[in-house]
């Protein structure tokens, strides 16, 4: 019997597939996960969260890294951004995760800072700028054309934090 070490990375996949570009992270991860190396997948815990809430961040154990992927506001449609969680600000001109409509992102991060021992977990936000978020809409052309760059940014960050190089799976 093989015993696996606990995951070292929690990937929070945010969004709603029924709301156009809000489903960008779900679309990206659906085809990216099967292509990741087995050794990387062993270190990964993937959680879907329609709306990013403090609860999604509060139970991340110390030493585990958090990667939040989502559509983003405050950047050009299709543009991909990677930034530390603790650098997200309420500057309306800056990149913000889109899927925090239940609570503003600064409330989510503020509650996590005060309620979680050690404050925010170590981690990053990876977002792709969205254009349209209406119910029943497909992904916009801007997001579709840059989906490869979004997936590459996610894969690059996963490789960096897991110390597993990208490439074909060892199981393949």
DSSP-derived secondary structure letter, 87: G
Partners of 120 in the beta sheet?
Answer: none
Compute CA 150 distance to the chain's CA centroid, rounded to the nearest angstrom. 10
| Of 148, 91, 151, 97, the residue nearest 123 (C-alpha) | 97
Helix residue ranges per DSSP H, 35-146: 38-41, 54-58, 105-115, 141-145
Is 10 in a helix, a strand, or coil? strand
**pLDDT digit of tens for each residue in the chain (172 aa)?**
555 565 699 999 999 998 899 999 999 999 999 999 999 999 999 999 988 999 999 999 988 999 999 999 889 999 999 999 988 876 667 777 777 656 788 889 999 999 999 899 999 999 999 988 888 889 999 999 999 999 999 999 999 999 888 764 443 3
DSSP-derived secondary structure letter, 156: H
pTM: 0.89
């Amino acid at each position: 019997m093989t015993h696996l070490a606990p995951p070292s990375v929690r990937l929070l996949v945010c969004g709603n597939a029924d709301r156009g570009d809000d489903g960008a992270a779900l679309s990206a991860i659906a085809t990216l996960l099967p292509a990741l190396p087995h050794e990387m997948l062993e270190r990964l815990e993937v959680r879907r969260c329609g709306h990013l809430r403090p609860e999604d961040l509060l139970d991340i154990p110390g030493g585990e890294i958090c990667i939040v992927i989502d559509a983003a506001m405050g950047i050009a449609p299709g543009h991909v951004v990677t930034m530390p969680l603790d650098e997200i600000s309420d500057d309306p001109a800056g990149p913000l995760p889109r899927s925090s409509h239940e609570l503003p992102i600064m409330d989510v991060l503020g509650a996590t800072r005060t309620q979680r021992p050690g404050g925010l977990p170590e981690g990053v936000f990876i977002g792709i700028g969205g254009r349209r978020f209406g119910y029943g809409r497909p992904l916009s052309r801007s997001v579709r054309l840059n989906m490869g760059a979004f997936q590459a940014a996610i894969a690059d960050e996963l490789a960096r934090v897991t110390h597993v190089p990208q490439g074909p799976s060892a199981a393949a």
